[in-house]
Amino acid sequence: MKLLDDLSVPESPESVTRRRFLGVSTLAALGASFAGSLAICVRFLWPSVLFEAPSRFLAARIGDLLRRPILFLRKRRLYMVRDERGVFAQTAVCTHLGCLTRPNPGNDGFFCPCHGSRFALDGKVLKGPAPLPLEHYKIERREDHLWVDVAAKEDPDARIQV
């Protein structure tokens, strides 16, 4: 009969040894890294591209602006405006909280129906709470068409002659 001292732990057949624990841990780490690599490779098969409208687009024909002084392009949230000095393009988005502005009934400027800001025809703030004037965009004339690039800001005094 074998005597056990008080400090020894009897071994059971299902006990985990250090060698077995390290082997299982290594296999788990390898499996996790393989699964992560596989997920990255599968994700690479689909493009992560944001499809947006091009920043440069055909905005209007010159004849359209000769018939009326303000042309509103709803999809682009943009005004094409003709005054005594020429034609310019400016945003229709209020600089206060991003509401869509509307032309005044007499075509002498714009107003924001949300919070009451008023803008002159050239986009300058006449009445707050809008802190900044409406942004102007680069405009280019090609034959009888006007092209606008909303990625290029323009000086508010710049005009295209029609």
Could you tell me if 68 and 116 lie in one domain?
yes
Average pLDDT over residues 110-135: 88
With bands split at pLDDT 50, 70 and 90, how would you rate the model's confidence at 130?
confident
At 50 the pLDDT is: 77
Could you tell me if 65 and 45 lie in one domain?
no
At 2 the pLDDT is: 56
pTM: 0.64
At 38 the pLDDT is: 93
User: Residue 90 in contact with residue 137, Cβ under 8 Å?
Assistant: yes
At 31 the pLDDT is: 94
The parent domain of residue 26 ranges over 16-51
At 39 the pLDDT is: 92
HEC string of 136-159 equals EEEEEEECCEEEEEEEEECCCCCC
Sign of CA dihedral 88, 109, 75, 145: negative
Average pLDDT over residues 95-104: 87
Look up the CATH number of the domain holding residue 60.
2.102.10.10
Could you tell me if 112 and 87 lie in one domain?
yes
At 32 the pLDDT is: 95
At 13 the pLDDT is: 58
At 34 the pLDDT is: 94
Could you tell me if 149 and 93 lie in one domain?
yes
pLDDT of 8 strictly over 80: no
pLDDT of 99 strictly over 70: yes
What total of structural domains would you count in the chain?
2
- Report strand pairing: 118-120 vs 109-111: antiparallel
Cα–Cα nearest to 124, from 68, 76, 63, 81: 81
What average pLDDT does the chain have? 84
Could you tell me if 23 and 65 lie in one domain?
no
At 19 the pLDDT is: 87
